Each structure stands twice: as structure tokens, then as C-alpha cells.
Structure 1
Amino acid sequence: MNRAEKSQAVEELNSTFQDAAVVVVTRNLGLTVAASTDLRSQMRDAGASYKVAKNRLARIALDGTDYAPLSDLLTGPTALATSTDPVAAAKVAIDFAKTNDKLEIVGGAMGSTLLDADGIKALASMPSLDELRGTLIGLIQAPATKIARVVKEPSAKLARVFHAYGEKEAA
């Protein structure tokens, strides 16, 4: 890499860190190309990204962002998973690490909060932003459904009572 390519890589990483809600640092311990490609596609499907970057360039890109404390975790063969959804990158990384022992979760950060590997696992166990939105919409719609049922129920009971009297009279 020449100097211009390095400065461009630093700018891209810096803009990624500015936009990210969570950054997960992983260590690759001999991950094959096929496994790495599979992990990248899983990240893309979840709305996250997975990037292998030189540690020195990543440290420079981290300066001036909320994720600056992550620079201590960047040792050895590392890669960075980022997403705007606070849970997506962590969830995919943890699920992939369960099936592939060559990927190790080192830690990460959510905003200025530094997380260790256990913190990333706890973050991955939380529902995603889309799941939370679905739950919230369900909770908002539930009272309306219950009100409609309550309003409709007395007339249904009344109709059943009239029907029962009608059958009694007919018998």
C-alpha cells in the first residue's frame, strides 16, 4: 500500500466508525477463505459489515471517534465487524464463532462503552432492532384489539341469550 491508499483506507474506516452503533473486534486464527466469505455474506444479510484492516491503520482511524478505547484490543490478526443496528454484528459474530472455532471474539464497543467478550455475548442475546419494533407495534395494536373485543362481546352475549330464549320458546 502506498501513502495515498493508506490515507484512503483510514478515511473509510473512520467514516465506518462514525456511522456504526456497535463495533466487534474478532481474532482470526487461521480462518479459511471460504469460511471468511461465508461470514461476510452472513454479516451483509444482517445489515452489518466485516472488514479485515491493518491494526496500525485501524488505530489511526479510531482516533477522534467514540471507539478510541478499542485500540488496545487490536493486536494480532484482527478483523472488525460493524453495524448500525446495535445487535446485528454481535449476533452474527457470536453465532459464527459457535460453529467455527477459528474465530475468536476479543471484545468490542457500543458507543463509548467498551465491552469484553462476555459483554458482546450478552449484547448478541438481546433482540434486534427489527424484533423490538415488531414487539412495540404489537403492544400498540393490542389495546385496540382488546377494546374492539370488549365492545363486541356484550352484543354477542345478548344475541346468545335471545337465541337461547328463542329455542326454549320453540321447544
Structure 2
Amino acid sequence: MDRVQKRELVATLNRTFTETGAVVITRNLGLTVAQVTDLRRKMREAGAQFKVSKNRLTKLALEGTPYTGISDLLTGPTAISTSADPVAAAKVIVAYAKTNDKLEIVGGGLGASVLNAEGVKALAELPSLDEMRAKLIGLINAPATKIAQVVTAPAAKLARVFAAYGDSEKKLPDNT
């Protein structure tokens, strides 16, 4: 790899670190090509990336990003996993590490916070961004559902609601 290619790789990695929600660093202890291919496929399905690069180039790419603190974790044969969703990469890596003892979780980063291996495992247990959005929509949708139930209630219940509304307006002072 010549200098121009190295500069392009560092610039690409720097953009990735700037745009990512979380970084997970793993140590490859003899993964086969088929296993790495399988892991990359699972990462792509989750919206994440798995990349092996030289530690020195990765450390250069980390400069000027929120993840500069994780450069100390880059020793030995490492790989980096990134994802825009803060938990996607961690979920896939932790699940894959449970089934394959040749993949060791070293640590990672969540913004400016440096995570150890236990921190990455805890991050993997959190609900994903899509799951959180679904819960939020459910919470927002609940009042609308209750309104719909009141509107479709029997006429007697609706009359009581209107009567209560009318009583509350009578109690308000007249500002005119």
C-alpha cells in the first residue's frame, strides 16, 4: 500500500468515525475467511460495518474524532466495528462472540466514552434505536387511542363528558 492509498484509507476511516454512533474493537484470534465473511454479512444486515485495518492507520484516523480515547485499545490483531445505531454493532459482535471463542471483545467507544469489554456487553443489551422509536410511537399513540375509545363509547358516556366539559367552563371566570 503506497502513501496515497494510506491517506485515502485514513480519510475514509476518519469520516466513518465522525459519522458513527459507536465503535467496538475486537481481537481476531484465528478467524477463518468464512467466519469473517459470515460476521461481515451479519453486520451489514444490522446496518453496521466490520473492518480490519492497521492499528497505526486507525490511530491516525481517530485523531479529531470523539473516539480518540480508544486508541489505547488498538494493540495486536484488532478489527473495528462501527454503526450509526449505537447498539447495532455491539449486539452483533456480542452475539457472534458467544458462538465463536476466536473473537474476543477488547472494548469500544460510545461518543467520548471509552468502554471496556463489559461495557460493550452492557451496550448490546440495550434496545436498538428502532425498538426505542417503536416504544415512543406507542406512547404517543396511546392518548389518541383513548380519545377514539371515548368517541366510540355509548351515548351516555359521551353525554357525561360533554356535561363535565360544560361544568368546567361555568367555573372559569369571565375575562370580558
**TM-score (normalizing by structure 1):** 0.88
What is the match of residue 33 of structure 2?
A: 33
CA distance in 2, matches of 1:156, 1:30: 73
What is the match of residue 137 of structure 1?
A: 137
Q: Deviation above 4 Å: which 4+ runs of structure 1?
A: none
1:65 aligned to 2:65?
yes
SS in 1 for 2:27: strand
CA distance in 1, matches of 2:71, 2:144: 50
Which amino acid in structure 2 is aligned with residue 77 of structure 1?
P
What is the match of residue 51 of structure 1?
A: 51
CA distance in 2, matches of 1:86, 1:47: 11
Unmatched tracts of structure 2, length 5 or more: 159-176
What is the match of residue 86 of structure 2?
A: 86
What is the match of residue 99 of structure 1?
A: 99
What is the match of residue 170 of structure 2?
A: none
1:5 positional shift: 1.1
What is the match of residue 17 of structure 1?
A: 17
Which amino acid in structure 1 is aligned with residue 43 of structure 2?
M
1:4 positional shift: 1.1
CA distance in 1, matches of 2:70, 2:48: 18
1:150 positional shift: 2.9
Pick which of 60-69 and 144-153 moved more. Answer: 144-153
1:117 positional shift: 0.7
1:136 positional shift: 0.7
What is the match of residue 113 of structure 2?
A: 113
1:9 positional shift: 0.9
Q: Deviations over 1:61-116 (max 9, x none)?
A: 11111111111000111000001111101111101111111101100001101111
**TM-score (normalizing by structure 2):** 0.86
CA distance in 1, matches of 2:149, 2:99: 47
Paired-residue identity, %: 65
* Superposition RMSD in Å: 1.5
What is the match of residue 164 of structure 1?
A: none
CA distance in 2, matches of 1:51, 1:68: 18
